[in-house]
Amino acid sequence: MEEDVEVSENLNNHLNYYQKEDQVLLAVDCIIFGFDKENLKILLIKRNFEPEKGKWSLIGGFLKKNENLDEAAVRVLETLTGLNDIYLEQIHTYSKIDRDPGQRTISVAYYALIDVDSHHFDGIQIDSAHWFDISEAPELIFDHNEMVQKAKARLKRRALSKPIGFELLPEKFTMRQLQNLYESILDKKLDKRNFINKINSLDVLIKLDEKDMSVSRKGAYLYVFDKDKYEKKVEEDGFIFKI
């Protein structure tokens, strides 16, 4: 039934102006970055359908008639994680003719940022999903490696110009964790004092009277990101977040 409607809509509906044009399948694929207070991770799944069944892959899905691409990406992510409040951003659209040997498919890549620990999703919803350390991720199907490369580059750029990191951290975090995150994303060591000075000069963190005692004997103060303050700054004086 559904298919009949589809054919009729696409080829026979007199309200359509573009009847002679080729149609394509449009997919979304999500590069899901996570952070566990130590290392940057990526969430991958083992494909359980053909083609390329059994190989590692990004999670993806096809765009449906009744949703836009952002909504499709949210849906796809919810299917995997059970979460629907995940930070998502569109990156690039991939269209090589034979990129998917199954059928001509164009794919819109999104990247997502998740705090691995504090979003304790109800167990990942697909058994074969696995968090890989970003440096230890396996080869992926199709052009998914290329997508991941681009997403990493984008993440790096955004980390330098937006307070993107706070999507990847628990609500309360230590300076060391924030620095670990930036070091993972930028893939280089940073000087501790300079980093703290820089962050403090941005004036968008609130230092709590609370310490995380789980790592050191002295304990480390916890901070929260002051989103309102950040947004007010951006609005009022075109504040530029720049690390």
Contact 91, 154 (CB under 8 A): yes
Nearer to DNA, 128 or 200 (CB): 200
Q: Kindly report the CA angle at 126 between 120 and 128, in degrees rounded to 5?
A: 110
Q: Rounded to the nearest whole angstrom, what is the least distance from the CB of residue 168 to DNA in the complex?
A: 18
Q: Which does 93 bind (CB under 5 to 8 A by kind): DNA, its own copies, none?
A: its own copies
Q: Which residues contact 95 (CB under 8 A, 6 or more apart)?
A: 106, 107
Kind and range of the H or E element at 198? helix 192-202
CA distances from 15 to 8, 10, 12, 18, 19 (A): 11, 10, 9, 9, 9
Token couple for 25: 């399948």
Region from 16-24, 96-104, 150-158, 172-180 binding DNA, contact rule CB under 7 A: 172-180
Token couple for 103: 């059928």
Q: Which does 227 bind (CB under 5 to 8 A by kind): its own copies, DNA, none?
A: none
Q: Rounded to the nearest whole angstrom, what is the least distance from the CB of residue 102 to its own copies in the complex?
A: 4
Token couple for 3: 């298919």
Q: Rounded to the nearest whole angstrom, what is the least distance from the CB of residue 229 to DNA in the complex?
A: 19
User: Does 219 help bind DNA (rule: CB under 7 A)?
Assistant: yes
User: Does 157 help bind DNA (rule: CB under 7 A)?
Assistant: no
User: Does 19 help bind DNA (rule: CB under 7 A)?
Assistant: no
The C-alpha atoms of residue 133 and residue 36 are separated, in whole angstroms, by 10
User: Does 221 help bind DNA (rule: CB under 7 A)?
Assistant: yes
What does the chain come to in residues? 243
Q: Rounded to the nearest whole angstrom, what is the least distance from the CB of residue 92 to its own copies in the complex?
A: 6
Contact 78, 67 (CB under 8 A): no
What is the rounded radius of gyration, in angstroms, for the C-alpha atoms of the chain?
A: 21
User: Does 216 help bind DNA (rule: CB under 7 A)?
Assistant: yes
Region from 47-55, 86-94, 103-111, 213-221 binding DNA, contact rule CB under 7 A: 213-221
Nearer to its own copies, 11 or 213 (CB): 11
Residue 108's nearest CA partner among 200, 204, 207, 28 is: 28
The C-alpha atoms of residue 84 and residue 192 are separated, in whole angstroms, by 35
**Residues 26, 83, 126, 196: which binds DNA (CB under 7 A)?**
196
Q: Which does 176 bind (CB under 5 to 8 A by kind): DNA, its own copies, none?
A: DNA
Binding marks (x or -) toward DNA, 36..55, rule CB under 7 A? Answer: --------------------
Binding site for DNA (CB under 7 A): 174-176, 191-194, 196-198, 211, 213, 215-221, 242
